[in-house]
Structure 1
Amino acid sequence: IADDGSRMLRFCPVLLVLMLASCGANVVIQRDARFDVTYDDTVTSDNQTIYSYNHTVSRNKTEGVRVSVELLSESAPSPVLFVVRQKQAVLSFQVPLILRGLYQRKYQYTQLGRTLCQPPTKAVAETQFFFVDVSTLSSAGVHYQLRVSRVDMCVCAQFFRYVFPEGVDTVIVKVNSQKNFPCSVMSIQDIQCPVYDLDNNVAFIGMYQTMTTTAAITVQRKDFPSNSFYVVVVVKTEDEACGGPLRFYPLLPDELLDAGNRSKTLDVIVSPAINSEVYVMGMLFCLGIFLSFYLLTFLMACVENKRYDAMCFNLSAVSLADNGSTLSSEAVTDSLASADGNYGYMERSLESVGRSRHESLSSVEEDDYDTLADIDSDKNIVRTKKFLCVSDLARKDKRILSKKYQIYFWNIATIAVFYALPVIQLVITYQTVVNVTGNQDICYYNFLCAHPLGALSSFNNILSNLSYVLLGLLFLLIILQRDILHNRALERNENTALECGIPKHFGLYYAMGTALMMEGLLSACYHVCPNYTNFQFDTSFMYMIAGLCMLKLYQKRHPDINASAYSAYACLAAVIFFSVLGVVFGKGNTAFWIVFSVIHILATLLLSTQLYYMGRWRLGEAAYGLIKRPSDFASYLLAIAICNLLLYFAFYIIMKLRSGERIQCLALVCILFTAVVWGFALFFFFQVMLIDLCLQKTPAESREHNRECILLSFFDDHDIWHFLSSIAMFGSFLVLLTMDDDLDTVQRDKIYVF
């Protein structure tokens, strides 16, 4: 050995390990051992025992070997080291085994069982040897028991081997248990030795996730060159990772805690996942449903254009028959003013109408309205009228107002770019970390219905968000068509476009369509890796949509006094800011809820007095107090916005009907259709809300609410919520757009303000 030492070191590294492990042992005892026999023995620093085993390994049969040891001596000064040498692998462990838990708490195990992996063999059957070396540095004798046994089929109660059948490229591994605790870890590992099956090393390789009653991981053949993998289940030392009770903190840092008897009975099911045909069907279904909206809209646009051309022809014929005559001053006189002179309404003659048209052609600024000569008297008169008309609040220059409301679109487009880019970068990083580390606890997927595609772990949840993008784009096209038709009418100086109906300003509509598209994009980003810290990505533009819809409703009857884009987006930014604060500090923080309640009340008071009373303060405001503090602040804040929007929507429709106005057939169809879709959408929303609340729980607890796919074996509850909510919001936008079409031929001084 001395002469050929260099050659031995180069070609026999395992032998070197054995030599070093044997240093200090004066006596080496080797025994031919047998399976299923318990050996009681004693080891000291002066002797080392080697147990020699041999067994037959079959290429077509999976058979595991279980090494079980128990330390019988109490308070041994030094641990006993067990080294298992087998073909292509060396496994070592000590007894007692000490594992560290939360806050560096230490747990001692005097009984230990390790499962040996099956070395690969090319022969049909091969006899292989392995050795168990037992040694210690304790001068006193340490008494122990050793037992080695075979385990057929599964490689023990801890891990199993699965081989991909021919023609199956993707499988889903499900582990179920009737008991929540003890907390466990399910791991998917490649076929290699050693197998990492301890609490402190199970996360070293492969994919893994904690579990209480349910765990599921989708496994693809391409990730495992050997076309097979191990399913490893390990019981954790503590339950905190699964939301279990926190145990006492040891007073002494070196204190050893008894691990206790922690066992778990479970079922492991490996079944083929969906194939490529289901992916194609899911994508075709998604595209087909929403492209049908494009076809229907195109057909309706053709009908609308024909109707519009016919109306223009009729108006031209009437104009020729009247020999160019214009409306009398009585035609533009408020009927309410003629019935009651105390309303203080100032009648507008044809000369004032002509003057306002001439002034609209000049270059004026948005605030020039307040510099008119009659502003001091007229503003107070308008404020004291019992019934206001749209003409009273539509006196500013149309071009200036159009530019004012176009700022909504350009601002939200700018916000979208600067918001979306870092979000996309962040979620790509999240997904990369998940793929590299294999930690399935980072993202809260519905693992029972999470279909991967490429680097994406849950492609179906991302695909379903395409509905928001497609319908948002369609709404923008509808607005573009209406904008073009309205501009053509203005170019022809049509009276219906200049003096009739609700003033047409499309900037907020463009902003709403953009917000709907961005909701789809950011919701897709959120579903790349859903968790509590990035939940705001899924809700930010929902606040935008609710706010813009309320602004549009108010703008319809108050075009001159509506909020500017800068102040509106500043308020929405404050809402999102409080949403972030609520996520970080809101849970169980009384001071935060007091501050938020005060700001909420003051903001409501200010908004009401400024918008509804046009700057005149009235003290009849109602304060809203928070009685119950919800755990999900972001959803609570969004619920406030949506409820206010729905109430305002209902108020608008009721007041419209009370004012003697009617709802045309197209708008009525949109209202009924949207109401039905919202009903179904809200049903799935409450299912989804229960899952979203799980974002505040541990990953293991959240998986207890995972559900199977319910549509085409590809989409789950959350996907259906995406489909229905996008259709419902699109329908709501159409209602906003069409609900006042009946007023297009009504003079503005006969349209009430409410």
Structure 2
Amino acid sequence: MERKPGDSVLYVVLFVTLFIHYPVHGLIQMPRSLRLKDEHQVHTEVIEASCDHLYRESTNRTLEFIYHFVHANESSKAVRISVDTKEVTQEHPILFVVRQQKSVSSWQLPHFIDTASGIRAYHRVRRTLCPEDLEVSNASEELEFVVGVSTSDPRNVSFTIEATKIDDFLIKLDEERNIIVSPSEPEFYQYVFDENVTAVLVNVTSPDDLCMTVSVQNLTCPSFGRDEEMRYDSIRQTALDRSGLTITKEKFPNGFYLVFSVKADDYECSGKKDQQVYMRRKRIMFRITEKLKPSQFYTATLGVIGIFMLFYILGVFIWIVHCITSGPAPPLERSLLEAEDSQRYGTASSLDRPIFPVRSYEGRLIDSFGSRRHITASGSVSGNNEIDSKESSLNEEEIDMLEDAYLDKDVFRTKTFLYVSDLARKDHKFLSKRFYSYIWQLLTLSTFYALPVIQLVITYQKVLNDTGDQDLCYYNFLCAHPFGKLTDFNHVFSNVGYVMLGILFCILVFFRDVKHKHMREKNNKLEKYYGIPQFYGLFYAMGVSLILEGVMSACYHICPTHANYQFDTTFMYVIAILCMLKIYQTRHPDIVATAQASFGILAFVVIAGVISVYESSIYFWVIYTILHLMGCLALSASIYYMGRWKLDFGIFKRIYLTWLNDIRAGFSHCFRPMYPDRMILLAIGNLFNWALAAYGLHTQPPDFASYQLAIFITNLMLYTLFYIVMKIRYGETVLVQPLIYICLSLVSWGASFYFFIIKAATWRMSAAESRHYNQECLILNFYDYHDVWHFLSASSMFFSFMILLSLDDDQVYRPRDKIPVF
């Protein structure tokens, strides 16, 4: 049976135990394997040995050696024992037992290490003895230890042994060390905290891409130098070329041991099995530097809060300037709706029976009340109360006088050119309640979503703290500042920008909401006849989503992993959906989807993200791509026909029949759409979505959440750009305030993506490979590139929200029946 590496220790302990419990005359009752040495008259040779001297001897089962070492107590030095042999076999290893004042350690040659591809044997072992006697206060006192060497091999096998004093065992702050480590020759050193140092960073680099473990242990004996022993009672990381550990004085008040051990293969670091057996020697450079002092820590955190408080001051200032410059309402241009309401009912305050065109006659539109409205060159409609004698002979049968025609949306939405008045016919209070429902449903869903998330990531952090296994979470260890129980406080705290700017946006929306109510109280015509209908529910929901994005991103950064990345992206999806809904709602207030339908889409997106964590085969990508393109097609049809087509599975049949009729009518008919502007937008949007779908199906990116987010962001950017271009095309003005926000947003988004591209860690690889991207802090020795991304992306989203909030300020006093729909 193959003997395992730890069997030697077990045999030694068993031999001592049996020797104590059995008298000499009872040896005949012992197993034969334990009586061999007595039967062959084992001879023990004691050698008074000294350090820094190489001893060469041969041993067999009848001869064992005991080396008695005595050396001076020097607090800055430790002892390292090196043993070597090339003649020993696996069946009869040489056992080495080291007895110190407070501990016993042992190993054997050959030394066996388990790997993913099998067991590897090493014939040279080097061990640093645990410097337990460094605690002795008397520096002149001599220290001693004993090394026993024995084997069960009947043949003579030679070996060498040497005990060496380590002169540089104690590490000083900012001192750089260069060492060489192999799987059978781990190294460890000691560090003691200076009086004024509260935390240090252990920065480890290597030019060799060999898998290793870096471990920090308490100053107690025995110390765990072998790789399989480091799994217990230590803080540890696997690494290839880079590693960083932040150690606090609170956790290790007396200092710590820093242990390096190279693994026998790279499977644990890269997942690759190496079948070749060879000696692995890794060059390592490491240095211990001081982390931030408490004063610097608080300066970095409070400084960021102060910078975002400037946004509050600037926001209030801009609001005051906006109120001053806006001044009193200008003279209102007469609205046709208002004029015809006055003529029809003797008052301008009733819109219970609005006007709509029924039939075209000689270039004019005739409404259901017989009044004539001319179509101008710009597409606007002018009224005329005088009926031409030629036209007065029209029969009433040519005009639809049915009351239910007022409720038929097809009567208004089939015109080739629409105005906001055509799509703002529903009761204002009804629509306002619909849009405010987004807030309450968002808060309800986020509560049930966030509480399990918070519980889960706190559990992750607790497991990391209890086990010390820092491969569980993907941090930028070279710029990770612990605070309390959090290992990486700065990446959690840097999300404060989302929360603060989300609150600020809600405050600015509230100011506008109050101002709008005052304007309605002064002039109730503004709500019915002028400007774009104002519903602030979606704006409040956007602000709350920005706050929740900060909360969920902070939760994700407590312990970033592949399994919980969707926590960071979920509310980015929400923000993108709400922004697109808000842009569409601006000119289509009667057609916007309900909160239930919108969050239903979000549910599908989140489900797809969860499935992608555990299933990323070609079948998943094919199904997702089909659903993605079908969703784009159905949504395009609903948008093109202004909500007159019900958004259900029957919409695909209607699309097929429409295309079939157009083809039968002639190909030239297919290229002459009834609504050109909408067709251009939808064509461009579908091209981009088809391109993204093809890219996803071809490459199958491992970061599915980011891929899905790219789809939403691309569509949002296209729609926002389309809206601004269409405003300019129809002669509308982009005022100074939204223009400033557009410029700030472009600059901020450009800088954000630059810092986002520079990765400091990635869970797409193994934990050791991820540390290749670790980088030192960029700002105040506290924040790295990803923290800056948090700051800039929060600012970018705030500026983008402000664009949507102020973009149509030029339309406040414009008649609603002259504001085009696009």
Q: TM-score range by the shorter chain?
A: 0.7 to 0.9
| Mapping 1:23-172, distance limit 5 Å | 24=35, 25-26=37-38, 27=42, 28-59=44-75, 61=76, 63-102=77-116, 105-119=118-132, 120-154=135-169, 157=180, 158-172=187-201
What corresponds to 1:604 in structure 2? 632
Q: Is the 8 A contact 2:198 2:249 kept in 1?
A: yes
Residues 20, 190 of structure 1: CA spacing in aligned structure 2 closer, same or farther, 3 A cutoff? farther
Q: What pairs with 1:125-524 in structure 2 (closer than 5 Å)?
A: 125-154=140-169, 157=180, 158-180=187-209, 182-226=210-254, 228-243=255-270, 245-248=272-275, 259-306=277-324, 310-311=327-328, 341=363, 373-375=403-405, 378-492=408-522, 494-524=524-554
Query: Alpha-carbon deviation of 1:456?
Result: 1.0
Structure 1 unaligned regions, length at least 5: 1-12, 249-257, 350-371
What is the Cα deviation at residue 207 of structure 1?
0.9
Q: Which whole-Å deviations, capped at 9, do the CAs of 1:455-488 have from their partners, x for residues lacking one?
A: 1111111111000000001111111222223334
Tell me the CA shift for residue 45 of structure 1: 3.7
Give the drift of 1:339. Answer: 11
Distance 1:631 1:468 in 2: 27
1:562-641 matched pairs, under 5 angstroms: 562-586=592-616, 589-613=617-641, 614-616=643-645, 617=655, 619=659, 624=690, 625-627=693-695, 628-629=698-699, 630-641=701-712
| 8 Å contact kept, 2:357–2:367 | no
Secondary structure of 2:142's aligned partner = strand
Figure out how many residues of one structure are paired with residues of the other and give that number: 692
SS at match of 1:265: strand
Structure 2: distance between partners of 1:290 and 1:335: 52
Equivalent-residue separation in structure 2 for 1:474 and 1:193 (angstroms): 56
Q: Distance in 2 between matches of 1:398 and 1:419?
A: 32
Moved more, 439-448 or 154-163: 154-163
Deviations 1:513-562 (A, max 9, x none): 11100100011111111121111111110011011100111111111111
Distance 1:658 1:671, change over 3 A: same
Q: CA deviation at 1:17?
A: 6.9
Q: Indicate the residue corresponding to 1:368 in structure 2.
A: none
1:646 aligns with one of 692, 708, 717: 717
> What does residue 660 of structure 1 align with?
731
Once residues 69 and 348 of structure 1 are traced to their aligned partners in structure 2, the CA distance between those partners, rounded to angstroms, is 110
The letter of the residue matching 1:49 is F
Distance 1:373 1:275 in 2: 78
Measure, in 2, the Cα distance between the counterparts of 1:657 and 1:42.
95
Change (3 A) 1:339 1:282: farther
Structure 1 residues 344 and 434, CA gap change in structure 2 (3 angstroms):
farther
Q: Name whichever of 28-37 and 410-419 sits farther off.
A: 28-37
Deviation at 1:342, TM superposition (A): 6.1
Partners of 2:362 and 2:439 lie apart in 1 by 42
TM-score normalised to the size of structure 2?
A: 0.79
- Residues 633-675 of structure 1: per-residue CA shift (max 9 Å, x gap): 1111111110110000000000111112111221221112212
Match of 1:739 in 2: 807
8 Å CA contact 2:46–2:66 kept in 1: the answer is yes
Aligned 8 A contact 1:186 1:232 in 2: yes
Answering whether residue 555 of structure 2 is matched by residue 525 of structure 1, we say yes
Deviations 1:336-380 (A, max 9, x none): 99998566776899xxxxxxxxxxxxxxxxxxxxxx943488433
Contact 1:329 1:348 in 2 (8 A): no
Q: Could you say if the C-alpha distance between residues 184 and 329 of structure 1 is closer, same or farther in structure 2, counting changes exceeding 3 Å?
A: closer
Change (3 A) 1:344 1:163: farther
Following superposition, the deviation at residue 73 of structure 1 comes to 2.4
User: Which AA in structure 1 matches 2:201?
Assistant: I
Change (3 A) 1:231 1:348: farther
Partner Cα separation in structure 2 for residue 655 and residue 725 of structure 1:
27
Structure 1's 14 and 172: CA in aligned 2 closer, same or farther, altered over 3 A? farther
Q: Helix, strand or coil for the counterpart of 1:374?
A: helix
Shift, 1:327, TM fit:
6.0
- CA gap of 1:151–1:329, structure 2 versus 1, over 3 A, is closer
Structure having the higher Rg: 2
Q: CA deviation at 1:72?
A: 3.1
Residue 615 of structure 1 and its aligned partner are, at CA, apart by: 3.6
Amino acid paired to 1:581:
I
Matches within 5 A, 1:683-722: 683-688=754-759, 691=760, 694-722=762-790
Match of 1:255 in 2: none
Q: Decide whether aligned partners of structure 1 residues 313 and 77 sit closer, same or farther in structure 2, where only a CA change above 3 A counts.
A: closer
Alpha carbons of 1:329 and 1:656: their partners in 2 closer, same or farther (altered >3 Å)?
Answer: farther
**How far is 1:393 from its partner?**
0.9
Check the 8 A contact 2:476/2:774 in 1, yes or no. Answer: yes
Aligned partner of residue 223 in structure 1, secondary structure: coil
Secondary structure of 1:387's aligned partner: coil
RMSD: 3.1
Structure 2 Cα separation of the partners of residues 708 and 229 of structure 1: 23
- Equivalent position amino acid for 2:120 in 1: Y
Which amino acid is the alignment partner of residue 185 of structure 1? T
**CA 1:148–1:329 in structure 2 vs 1: closer, same or farther (change >3 Å)?**
closer
Give the structure 2 partner of residue 724 of structure 1: 792
Structure 2 unaligned blocks of 5 or more:
1-12, 23-33, 171-178, 181-186, 333-337, 372-401, 646-654, 660-669, 671-682
Moved more, 378-387 or 36-45: 36-45
Q: Partners of 1:568 and 1:472 in 2: how far apart?
A: 21
Letter of the structure 2 residue corresponding to residue 64 of structure 1: A
8 A contact 1:462–1:527 mirrored in 2? yes
Of 29-38 and 235-244, deviating more is 29-38
Q: Secondary structure at the match of 1:153?
A: coil
SS of residue paired to 1:592: helix
Distance 2:320 2:726 in 1: 32
1:705-751 per-position Cα deviation (integer Å, ceiling 9, x unaligned): 11111111111101111111101101111110110111111121111
Alpha carbons of 1:421 and 1:344: their partners in 2 closer, same or farther (altered >3 Å)?
farther
Residues 1:507 and 1:109: Cα distance change in structure 2 (over 3 Å): same
When residues 97 and 343 of structure 1 are mapped into structure 2, their CA distance, relative to the original with a 3 A threshold, is farther
Distance 2:410 2:489 in 1: 59
Find the aligned partners of 2:740 and 2:68 in 1 and give their Cα distance. 83
3-state DSSP class of the match of 2:798?
helix
* Maintained 8 Å contact 1:333/1:348: no
Q: TM-score, normalised by structure 1?
A: 0.86
Give how far 1:491 is off: 4.4
Whole-Å separation in 2 of the counterparts to 1:373 and 1:670: 47
Letter in structure 1 aligned against 2:622: I
Change (3 A) 1:419 1:707: same
1:563 aligns to what SS in structure 2? coil
Conserved in 2, the CA contact under 8 Å of 1:345 and 1:385?
no
Cα distance in 2 for residues equivalent to 1:147 and 1:83: 14
**Displacement of 1:212:** 0.9
- SS of the aligned residue for 2:247 comes to strand
The amino acid that maps onto 2:188 is: F
> Residues of 2 paired with 1:671 and 1:590: CA distance?
40
Q: What residue in structure 1 maps to residue 679 of structure 2?
A: none
Instruction: Indicate conservation of the 8 Å contact 2:80/2:166, yes or no.
Output: yes
